[in-house]
Amino acid sequence: MKVEKLLHMAGGAGDCSYAANSKIQEKAILKVKPILEEAIVELHINLHPEKMVVADLGCSSGPNTFLVLTEVMKIIGRQCRQLVLQPPEMQFFLNDLPGNDFNNIFQLLDSLEESMRADNNISSVPHFVAGLPGSFYGRLFPSQSVHFFHSSNSLHWISQVPEGLESNGNYVYLNKGNIYIGKTSPPLVVKFYQDQFKRDFSLFLKLRFNELVPGGQMVLAFSGRKKSDIYNGELSTIWGLVSESLNSMVLEGLVKEETFDSFNPPFYAPSMEEAKAVVDEQGLFEIKDIQMFESNWDPYDDSDEDVVSDNIKTGENYAMCIRSVLEPMIASHFGAAIVDELFSRFAMNVANHLLKENTKLPILALRLKKKEQILFTKV
């Protein structure tokens, strides 16, 4: 799987697009707002930059793309009004892989600018917005040029499917019958995924350390794992339901077994302890805050109830969300013809699961501040 080419959300603004089905991701961004505000206020007070560079890594497309941008300007505008300061010029970079629907982003910019002019806290802040295609597992900026990095709902995507899941190119699939880490995945599969996450997150931290100015900060939020049993992790449950849906199509001859066995997503949801261990081992950032949030599967359900009121509707709503994320990857690997049937079965599997357990989506959030150290030169 060529991750950089295939990993992107469903583009456009149609019923099955990411732009129309990203409310769960919006909730994650909103839950992290207090952490974001603490970081921006502290950074602005301590550094007093005349020009501030902010980058949103894994911005995707649709209305969520501008949530962080507008929130940062509100925070800066409010603070400058309270302290009677001249606001800095803001340069925003919206980053994602080249397959992202950047056209959708730029088409929304005019209406965004119009709405921002009506907000006194924002209208006073001079700002510039640019798109930046490229992987955040590579260098994106010159050394010491960025004040603040934000990334939401992205770092659970690793740089590649872990090597070794297909043995020697002989079509011996180590994770046969599973997608991601399932209940019957061999321990070696778990190790491959954990090692790939550790390598990628370590590299990400080194790259951003080089690109941040002294005292620069990051706020990162991505899918995590609250349960200690990795085989029973919340995201393993979700991928397990996708796997069940595909396997039923294999049994009916709608999908080839070999095609199913060869599909493994470039994804890993770490525990808080795993993520913290990587940060501590690198020694490049001070952890200012680390938290775990939870969200319901149904993007339209904000209740704290242990029982889902309408499991069928929740299954349908959640299937639309997952489809908007996975459809490009599924269509590339299995063919577009199976997509409707697959997610219809997935919706029913979700509904049946929710009769037994109202599983939540854990979101891991970290606020990191760059330590004063010598720049890396080999990354």
What does the pLDDT profile of the chain (379 residues) look like in tens digits?
A: 555 555 555 555 556 566 556 667 777 788 889 999 999 999 998 888 889 999 999 877 777 778 888 889 889 888 888 887 888 999 999 998 887 777 777 777 777 777 777 676 676 788 888 888 999 999 999 999 999 999 988 899 898 888 877 654 555 787 888 888 888 888 888 999 999 999 999 999 999 999 999 999 999 999 898 877 888 777 788 888 888 898 898 998 998 888 888 888 888 999 999 999 999 999 999 999 999 988 877 777 776 777 766 788 888 888 888 888 888 888 888 888 888 898 889 889 888 888 887 778 889 999 999 998 655 545 5
pLDDT at 137: 92
Neighbouring CB atoms inside 10 A of 81's CB total 13
pLDDT at 197: 94
pLDDT at 208: 96
How far apart CA 69 and CA 61 sit, in angstroms, is 13
How far apart CA 255 and CA 346 sit, in angstroms, is 15
The residues, any chain, with a CB within 8 Å of residue 361's CB and separated by 6 or more, are 24, 223, 234, 294, 295, 296, 297
pLDDT at 315: 81
pLDDT at 374: 54
Residue ranges of the alpha helices (H) in the chain? 3-6, 23-31, 33-47, 67-83, 102-117, 120-123, 187-211, 234-251, 257-261, 272-282, 311-334, 339-356
Residue 215 C-alpha from the chain's centroid: 25
Taking phi first (over 0 means left), then psi (-120 to 50 degrees means alpha), and beta for anything else, what does residue 61 get? beta
Residues 159, 193 contacting (CB under 8 angstroms): no
pLDDT at 6: 59
**Of 286, 130, 319, 142, the residue nearest 215 (C-alpha):** 286
pLDDT at 85: 82
pLDDT at 110: 74
